[in-house]
């Protein structure tokens, strides 16, 4: 978020499907002025976290579906995995 004139904040959204990897990380600060530069290790850590999160969700979703004796990826099992993680009530 960047503060605009008068104390009003402005938000910008980068669509996840528009670019991937380093391009997505580089697209975030575009359009902002006086944005600090990022260290390469920080960007790599963010990319690693962005890859790790969905993998973990799908692993936990698979455990939920196996428990229900199913093999199909279903939205309700992803929601259950997120509730078990404590991300959503």
22: pLDDT strictly greater than 60 = yes
User: DSSP states of the chain as a string?
Assistant: -EE-GGG-EE-----GGG--THHHHHHTTTT-SSPPP--HHHHHHHHHHHHHHHHHHHHHHHHHHHHTT--S--HHHHHHHHHHHTS--
Q: How large a percentage of the chain has pLDDT more than 70?
A: 60
Residue 42 clears pLDDT 60, i.e. is over it? yes
Tokens of 52: 């790790």
Report CA 1 to chain centroid distance, whole Å: 17
Q: Identify the weakest region by mean pLDDT among 4-13, 19-28, 61-70, 74-83.
A: 4-13
User: Cα(22)–Cα(71) distance, rounded to whole angstroms?
Assistant: 34
pLDDT at 89 over 50: no
Stretch among 15-24, 32-41, 52-61 having the lowest mean pLDDT: 15-24
Please tell me whether the overall predicted TM-score, pTM, comes out greater than 0.75 for this model: no
CATH of domain 39-89: 1.10.20.10
Please list the residue range(s) of the chain that carry CATH number 1.10.20.10.
Answer: 39-89
């Amino acid at each position: 978020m960047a503060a605009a004139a008068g104390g009003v904040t402005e938000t910008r959204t980068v669509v996840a499907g528009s670019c991937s990897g380093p391009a997505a990380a580089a697209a975030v600060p575009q359009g902002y002025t006086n944005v600090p530069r990022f260290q390469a290790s920080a960007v790599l850590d963010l990319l690693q976290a962005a890859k790790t999160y969905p993998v973990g969700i799908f692993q936990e979703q698979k455990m939920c579906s196996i428990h229900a004796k199913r093999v199909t990826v279903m939205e309700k099992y992803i929601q259950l995995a997120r509730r078990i993680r404590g991300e959503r009530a």
